[in-house]
Structure 1
């Protein structure tokens, strides 16, 4: 096709012609419905499918006037102006009924467009304690579970599938139909800030649990009751140079000094077998491999050569967020993550992503660039149609054309139901991992393990709400007055220059000297139990010998912890990664190789129990 013919084809659809409504006929095969609809779409309507951006919610569930995550662009401007119908929701109303009402208003707006293409809403994880605006979100009224790393500590496929099925029910109740997860990268670099949302560094465990997660959200096959999973980050985002994250320019390189590129593909092979509907390539760029040294979303040798051709994946491939245009986050500049192609213009970046084999641009709202490329003959409309078919097909498979609205009253009943909340709390307790439980003298002078603690003791607490601790014992003001101290710590990280970057915990795994000194001071005064939120594998060697007991968690309420410490529930968790002995061991390890830190303090799979 010549450039002139291509431009003529791009403008050939008459958007004033009568609508062939057979694509709404549920008796027809989905493939036929897709073709009927696609044949009637203008280039502008097709281009709108390719862009998925963050959308805001107005007061009381109204449609936001300033709908973009950084302001700019109204809801109406996205839907009617840019012809977009894929949106990512970040912050949402705590009331599920209001959330559902907003969703229905948005679907009503979309229904009034020329072809009435329904909106698809996506979300990052919403059922855990994390609150990283570009990684995971506070649960609000959704049931609260441990992070995926905590599910890995439990290590049970049935628990993961049960979690995902509950999350599926909560998502669909408010209209969320795409999960921007699971994250099945192997956490082989201990310093990496994104490890918490993975299943750890063991390939077999990550593969099993990732597949169970997909089954829970999607079912055995994708259908009207499913939430489609966008499994990430292909081809594995764990081997980050120095553990830095490629959300930022200084973390753009993925390296494979141990030659383990293929190992990081294994969890994705399990995800393909489980039927994941979508794949997200990561920001990072491979260095020193056979592949082009550009970010994976721009990387034809990875997206087409590896994902499409070697693995035969014909689902949707959506880039990670913000590869094309610069933005501002929290008032601070946030450049496009165009690693290896920083020199290209936004228009040229769009072309390279399309040429790579991707179907959709995450976090972007610039369909005019794609339209220009087609009209100028640089991208064929046949290539546009190939991705449009995938994107439309999923909307039909999910039943959005047939049942676009949700039941507001059902949303109120389902989200955060007592049954779902109880299941999440049980998982929080089960994931807690007991690492140290030294014997000490009890009231009679006999030696016994520190844990479980008797109820009614005098407790000195830090990092635990006193009113909660008061349900288990008498809270006192100083270690000197206490029978036992309970300290909750978070794994350390280095402060970084921008506010947003500090949501990504990076850098040294050593605790500051003053924090270690304080723990030692308390432990010298009273038997001390330390619980650490192990979003990163903290270096605990300097204090471990001075503690009466030590536990790790990956998202647990104070009550969940105290239930375990007092024996109302048993610690069942096992470490989903090695806990390194020193930063020297971490720095000497190879970032692509699991279990590569010398002589770990506690190895993968370690965990004590209360049974003799």
Structure 2
């Protein structure tokens, strides 16, 4: 449909019909929904009339080819101008084939496989009738107390940006109209939701604009540069103004500065939440502020449909703003081909063939294996097939390994750890005991576990969080394993037998006790549908661990936030002239993370030679090659993620101690040496100055190369004009 036709539709719409396009309602409100049930109460409570429903522009949470077709058909019979619905849903890390949580995917450092996971999620969602996914979530995260860190890819703006691009490519493909196996992506949460104070969900965010632009905005911009069709507002404040009513953020930066022309949607209820935030004196003012800020779609509250008409008629809100927003919504519906094919991609027969196919499960297994991070290994892994194993813990036989936002995933169809190991080694060599539940247990369960462990040669402890303990509204002040699991761990460790901890969780945990009481630690995150198979592959050496952390693990919650790209202080610990006490330090724990950004072990071992620079000076418009020889010193083929960092030694404002600028993930044969070359450009040295200009400064720099952010070899260079 041509743009001219869209304008023609707009001209035919009444003001009420235009405003109704801004209303997003959940699936049960719509005729044809399988779980429509009795909605008279909620409709009356919200003031939703049948007229509003039949003109609402989008539906939240519908899926399944049969249900979506039924909803769309019923809707189009009632909609005067035949404007189709947009079907939106949270397809975050898989539709029915569930991949690792995004924080785990980030730890793969494999953007190609991340893109493939999004492509598969889109294929399954699209054939089931979904048009838009509320993903990727690209919020930079530094505080593991915040439950939604599981939805991010970590603490680094460059790496988050690379994954943002990959996810958008995977979800959207090249042409949404022609490729009906793809869905429109909605990047979230704009902006800086990951910086909520105290790690408490929905909480205040307060930072300088320079910090916002330097660390938090780049990944959103990367997603939009890749063509992301939609943006979702954050729940939090930014500079004292809630994001959903923040004109500077949404109009000035997002639309004017960045040129974003797509749809801006609120998060669930966020427009009405301007009232408890304290910037709107009722729904009427909330509607005015959100519309003027640029929010096009209001999710699950009714400020727009109840008050915008009156505000347009009184001149408080310009109808031009209404028309612009409607046109953006119509444009996406047109891009998706919905005016010509309102049942785009929806196919009940094909749905049965596509959903959780062997191909999809194979990719999920590969990605789960690459997302796991080996944090410790005192020569116990990989396990020998002839060893008698005791598998103990609340996750030994537990399908709760999909994690939050596995909306359509099936715990029953997820491969549990026991099943993965049993299929690999044979059930005869494995004894199982739960020991305790995730957060509770009995002495009988503990005693049974100890008896099973006493008969084994190797103990695998399957520990962690339930999926409800992380994700949205999953903030925790104590990020250790639950007390009952620590009790189980302590009792098992007293047996003195080789012990491997396999961890299922959605955040970095305080693993101080675990690291002291086990011989090996495999961080599995919530690994998804094929988790049991992937972990068994790693434990028994079928796969070689290659995951590397993208978020630092603290020594304790009291150290949070701890992240690699921090600033120095005027009294840094370890400085040559530092006094023993009067430096920036803790008295009881190290300053550094227990397990730092970029860290992860392998069954192979690697050495790095000193990096060599093609020149000691970098001129504007030219480049420097940074070359390092890396050798696999083991007899085992393995992958190594070679990481390049830079430090600006003297900036106009304080610069981080180091910043990731590039990486290369390479496969090495046994005893193989490879030369890895990175090309460094002046553009990579730019940053936001105190006046917010994005430029570089001539002067001294250090380039670092190594396997993680803490173990690096360095060379100095100068930037000159």
TM-score normalized by the length of structure 2: 0.68
Match of 1:122 among 88, 91, 113: 88
**What SS does structure 2 have at the residue aligned with 1:382?**
helix
State the Cα deviation string for residues 80-114 of structure 1 (Å, max 9, x = none).
Answer: 64510301107x5xxxxxx2111111111122121
Mark the CA change 1:590 to 1:553 in structure 2 (over 3 Å): closer, same or farther. closer
State the Cα deviation string for residues 470-519 of structure 1 (Å, max 9, x = none).
Answer: 44332155211122221222259998xxxx99852332223455532321
State the Cα deviation string for residues 134-165 of structure 1 (Å, max 9, x = none).
Answer: xxxxx5xx112111111111111111111111
State the Cα deviation string for residues 576-595 of structure 1 (Å, max 9, x = none).
Answer: 111112222216x5999699
- Mind listing any 5+ residue stretches in structure 1 that lack a counterpart? 1-25, 93-98, 129-138, 288-292, 326-335, 440-448
Shift of 1:376: 3.2
Residues in 2 aligned to 1:546 and 1:302: alpha-carbon distance in whole angstroms: 48
Alignment of 1:107-506 (within 5 A): 107-112=72-77, 113-125=79-91, 127-128=93-94, 139=95, 142-224=96-178, 225=180, 226-246=182-202, 251=203, 253-256=204-207, 260-262=211-213, 263-287=215-239, 293-325=240-272, 336=273, 338=275, 340-341=277-278, 344-365=281-302, 367-405=305-343, 406-439=346-379, 449-454=380-385, 457-462=388-393, 463-465=395-397, 466=418, 469-471=421-423, 472=425, 473-476=429-432, 478-491=452-465, 503-506=473-476
RMSD (CA atoms):
3.1
Match of 1:53 among 1, 17, 25: 25
Partner of 2:480: 510
Mark the CA change 1:428 to 1:77 in structure 2 (over 3 Å): closer, same or farther. farther
Residues in 2 aligned to 1:62 and 1:515: alpha-carbon distance in whole angstroms: 41
Match of 2:594 among 598, 601, 604: 601
Partner of 1:561: 535
- Structure with the bigger RCO (C-alpha within 8 Å, sep 6+) is 1
Mark the CA change 1:81 to 1:241 in structure 2 (over 3 Å): closer, same or farther. closer
- Mind listing any 5+ residue stretches in structure 2 that lack a counterpart? 398-417, 433-447, 570-589, 605-633, 635-721
Residues in 2 aligned to 1:527 and 1:119: alpha-carbon distance in whole angstroms: 58
Aligned length: 530
Shift of 1:66: 3.7
Mark the CA change 1:549 to 1:59 in structure 2 (over 3 Å): closer, same or farther. farther
CA contact (8 A) 1:530 1:547 kept: yes
Shift of 1:399: 0.4
Partner of 2:519: 548
**What SS does structure 1 have at the residue aligned with 2:517?**
coil
Shift of 1:301: 1.4
Shift of 1:51: 1.3
Mark the CA change 1:519 to 1:59 in structure 2 (over 3 Å): closer, same or farther. farther
Shift of 1:257: 7.2
Residues in 1 aligned to 2:246 and 2:209: alpha-carbon distance in whole angstroms: 22
**What SS does structure 1 have at the residue aligned with 2:154?**
coil
**What SS does structure 1 have at the residue aligned with 2:5?**
helix
Match of 2:65 among 100, 103, 119: 100
Alignment of 1:523-538 (within 5 A): 523-525=493-495, 526-538=497-509
Out of 595-604 and 369-378, give the one that drifted further.
Answer: 595-604
